[in-house]
Every structure is written in structure tokens, then in C-alpha cells.
Amino acid sequence: MEFANVILEKQDKIGVLTINRPKALNALNKDTLLDIKAAVALVQEDPEIDVLVITGSGDKSFVAGADITYMLEMTALEGREFGILGSSIFRQIETMSKPVIAAINGFCLGGGCELAMSCDFRISSDKGKFGQPEVGLGVTPGFGGTQRLPRIVGTGMAAELLYSGDVIDAAEALRIGLVNHVVPAGELMDFVMGLAKKIASRGQISVRLCKKAMYEGVQVDIDRGLTIEADIFGVCFATEEQKEGMKAFVEKRKAVFTGK
């Protein structure tokens, strides 16, 4: 399927979704958001894709933010509707059963940072720039930034970034836990694809059940979370994947998973 504002490719068992508006630094307008929504739905339903990588085209920007020119004349109602649209699509990414990695190749600001935070984790090049600079534009983050940022880096650091609108570099993003790794710009996609292929080589039922247990568990108290984990752990023993994985370990060979 062809899209106007994104590119969706498959490499082995990895889907690569590239936001493709380089002249606008990959800024998000309504059409781009709808393209992301459609592409993510395709990835979710594609049995040949086990892991999704999201990145930006060019060498300057992952996503520089929501498109300010597009938002300039919005009414309060239109702004709310745009926020709900973006939030719903980023929630679609966050809740999809397959792992999602953000490969951040430059500016990751505003809506771009919110997109990255909806992924399971983030890998940045040493050119990455991060922030929620919306207060400098007279608005708040609208696609989940006030909700995900404190969950990832803690309320104190999130408050400083949200209230000041400051932009931080990749090293600082790594220090506060916003990204998992920082690599040289020329090595970013090789690093991310290597990690994605490692995840894709594991038992995919168990990978997806790990994601389910983790995200459901962090929303409840620890006792309920442990019950969720026990229930999901038990489900694993009804799969061929568990039988093969444990048998391969005992036989000292590499497991061959079939997704069953």
C-alpha cells in the first residue's frame, strides 16, 4: 500500500515505518497522522512482521513536532479534535501486540517526542534533540506528552521539561532514561535493526505476552500485577513455543519457533 506521507517497508521479520515529509522536518499534520494510523494497522495484521521500527526520513529529523502552520488558525474545538486524533493513533501504537522501537535520527520535539514515547523504547543517534517545547507556542502537549513523559522519566524531570520547554541532547536523554542507547548517527539503523532482529528471533508469543503483562501490570497495584503475570505465565504452557523452547534448552540446541 502506497502512502503520501510515510513509507512502510519489510526487511526479514521487521517492519520499518518512515515518516516522510523531509522538507517539513517530518512534522505531523492530519494527513500524516492518518497515514501512520493506516500503516500501523497493516503491521498489526501482517503475519510476516514481528517487530516495528519507526523513524524519520533524512538526516535532520525524526519528527520535529506537529505542523504549526497546520494548527495556526485552529479553534478550541478543532484543537481538541486534533489532539484526540493524535492521541488515539499514538495509543494504537502503544497498545499494538508487537514490539515497537523508535529510531531517532535528529529532532524529536513536541509531537515527535510524543510519537517516540508511544513506542516501547527509543534508540537515538548522537544527533538526537528532545523536548516538549509547546509552552513556547502558548499551548500544552496534546498527543500524550503530559501523561507519558512523567511515566518514563519521573514527575520532577518531566515537570522541568514541560514547564521550561527546554530542548535536551541525546546524552541528557540517555541520562534521564528517555532513551535506552545513543549511537553514532551513521550506525543508528544498523544498531536498531540488529536489536529488532534479536527480538524477532525469540518466541513471538512470549514476547507479546511480556508486553501485555508489563503494560497491564503497571496500571494496577503490585498484587494485581503479580496475578496478571501468573495468569499470563500459565498461558505460555499451552503453547508449542514453550515446549520447543524448553526442549531446545535441555537438548543444548537453538530453538526453532513457529509462532504457535
Helix (H, G, I), strand (E, B) or coil at 62: strand
Nearest to 174 by CA among 110, 111, 115, 104: 104
Spatial separation of the C-alpha atoms in residues 56 and 43, rounded to whole Å? 17
Q: Is the pLDDT of residue 1 over 80?
A: no
134 pLDDT tier (thresholds 50, 70, 90): very high
Select the more confidently predicted residue: 142 or 254. Answer: 142
Q: Reply yes or no on whether 9 is catalytic.
A: no
pTM of the model: 0.95
Q: What percent of the chain has pLDDT over 90?
A: 92
Catalytic residue among 9, 114, 240, 244: 114
Q: Reply yes or no on whether 2 is catalytic.
A: no
258 pLDDT tier (thresholds 50, 70, 90): confident
Catalytic residue among 2, 78, 134, 229: 134
Q: Is 133 left (phi over 0), alpha (psi -120 to 50) or beta?
A: alpha
> Concatenated DSSP letters for 139-207?
----SSHHHHHHHHH-HHHHHHHHHH--EEEHHHHHHTTS-SEEE-GGGHHHHHHHHHHHHHTS-HHHH
Q: What is the pLDDT of residues 78-90, one digit of tens each?
A: 999 999 999 999 9
Q: What percent of the chain has pLDDT over 70?
A: 100
Report the alpha-carbon angle 223-153-226, nearest 5.
Answer: 15
CB 105 within 8 A of CB 168: no
- Compute the mean pLDDT over every residue in the chain, rounded to the nearest whole number: 96
Nearest to 148 by CA among 218, 71, 52, 55: 218
For the segment 167-172, the average pLDDT, to the nearest whole number, is 98
Q: State which CATH number among 3.90.1150.10, 3.40.630.10, 3.90.226.10, 1.10.10.60 fits the domain covering 6-200.
A: 3.90.226.10
Q: Residue 111, Cβ neighbours under 10 Å: how many? A: 31
The boundaries of every CATH 1.10.12.10 domain in the chain are 204-250
Q: What is the pLDDT of residues 136-160, one digit of tens each?
A: 999 999 999 999 999 999 999 999 9
The boundaries of every CATH 3.90.226.10 domain in the chain are 6-200
Q: Is the pLDDT of residue 184 over 90?
A: yes
CATH topology of domain 204-250: Lyase 2-enoyl-coa Hydratase; Chain  A, domain 2 (1.10.12)
